[in-house]
Structure 1
Amino acid sequence: MFRSLHYLNEVYKEQSFSRAAQKLYISQPSLSLTIIKFEREIGIQIFDRSTTPIQLTAAGKVYMEGIQRILAIENELEAYLDDYKELKTGSLTLGAPHLFSSYMLPALIAQFSKHFPMVEIRLVEADFLTLHDMTLNGEIDLLIESNQFDETLFQNYQLFREHVLLAVPCSDPVNEQLKDYCLSMEDIRSDLHMDSDRPCISLRNFQKHRFLMVKKRYDMHSRAMSLCQKSGFEPQVFMFLDQLMTVYNMVNQQLGVSFVTDTIVKLSNAGTNVVFYKIDDEQTTRYINLTHKLNRYVSRPMSEFIRMMAAISVGGITAVTSQQQWK
Structure 2
Amino acid sequence: MYIKNPEYFITTVREGSISKAAEKLYLSQPYLSQCIARTEKELGVKLFDRSHMPLKLTEAGKIYMRYLESVGVLTGQFEEQLGELKTGRSRTLNVGMTLWRGSVLLPDILPSYSESHPDVRITLREHHTAQLSKLLQEDQIDFALMNMPLNLDDFVYDTIFNERLLLVASKDHPAIRGLEAGTPDHPLPIDMKKLRRERFILLQEDQVMGHAMKNLFAKMNMEPKDALYTTSSTTSVNLAARGFGITFLPEGGIRHTAHVEQLAFFTVDNPPFSVPLLLLYKKNSIISPHAKDFIDMVKEYYRNLEEKKIKA
Instruction: Flag the 1:122–1:134 CA change in 2: closer, same or farther, 3 A.
Output: same
Work out whether 1:255 is the aligned partner of 2:209: no
Instruction: Report the equivalent of 1:160.
Output: 161
Picking from 208, 211, 220, the partner of 1:231 is 220
Instruction: Report the equivalent of 1:192.
Output: 186
Instruction: Report the equivalent of 2:260.
Output: 271
Q: 1:127-138 residue pairs with structure 2 within 5 A?
A: 127-138=128-139
1:184-223 CA distance string (max 9 Å, x none): xxx21xx223xxxx5x221111111111110111222222
Instruction: Flag the 1:213–1:106 CA change in 2: closer, same or farther, 3 A.
Output: same
Query: What SS is found at the alignment partner of 2:119?
Result: coil
| Residues 171 and 177, structure 2, Cα contact 8 Å, conserved in 1 | no
| Residues 147 and 218, structure 1, Cα contact 8 Å, conserved in 2 | no
TM-score, normalised by the number of residues in structure 1? 0.61
Picking from 317, 321, 324, the partner of 2:305 is 317
| Residues 168 and 265, structure 2, Cα contact 8 Å, conserved in 1 | yes
Instruction: Flag the 1:78–1:217 CA change in 2: closer, same or farther, 3 A.
Output: closer
One-letter code aligned to 1:317: L
Work out whether 1:218 is the aligned partner of 2:207: yes
Instruction: Flag the 1:311–1:166 CA change in 2: closer, same or farther, 3 A.
Output: closer
* Alpha-carbon distance in structure 2 between the residues aligned to 1:126 and 1:172: 32
Instruction: Report the equivalent of 1:107.
Output: 108
One-letter code aligned to 1:202: D
The offset of 1:317, in angstroms, is 3.0
Instruction: Flag the 1:102–1:94 CA change in 2: closer, same or farther, 3 A.
Output: same
Q: Percent identity?
A: 19
| Residues 145 and 277, structure 2, Cα contact 8 Å, conserved in 1 | yes
Structure 1 stretch displaced more, 89-98 or 211-220: 89-98
One-letter code aligned to 1:105: L
The offset of 1:233, in angstroms, is 1.7
TM-score, normalised by the number of residues in structure 2? 0.64
| Residues 149 and 156, structure 1, Cα contact 8 Å, conserved in 2 | no
Work out whether 1:81 is the aligned partner of 2:85: yes
Aligned residues: 228
Question: Which ranges of structure 1 fall in alignment gaps of 5 or more residues?
Answer: 1-76, 321-327
* Alpha-carbon distance in structure 1 between the residues aligned to 2:148 and 2:259: 22
1:52-76 CA distance string (max 9 Å, x none): xxxxxxxxxxxxxxxxxxxxxxxxx
Q: 1:42-53 residue pairs with structure 2 within 5 A?
A: none
Instruction: Report the equivalent of 1:118.
Output: 119
One-letter code aligned to 1:215: Q
* Alpha-carbon distance in structure 1 between the residues aligned to 2:302 and 2:274: 19
Question: Which ranges of structure 2 fall in alignment gaps of 5 or more residues?
Answer: 1-80
Instruction: Report the equivalent of 2:176.
Output: 175
Instruction: Report the equivalent of 1:151.
Output: 152
* Alpha-carbon distance in structure 1 between the residues aligned to 2:248 and 2:135: 28
The offset of 1:122, in angstroms, is 0.7
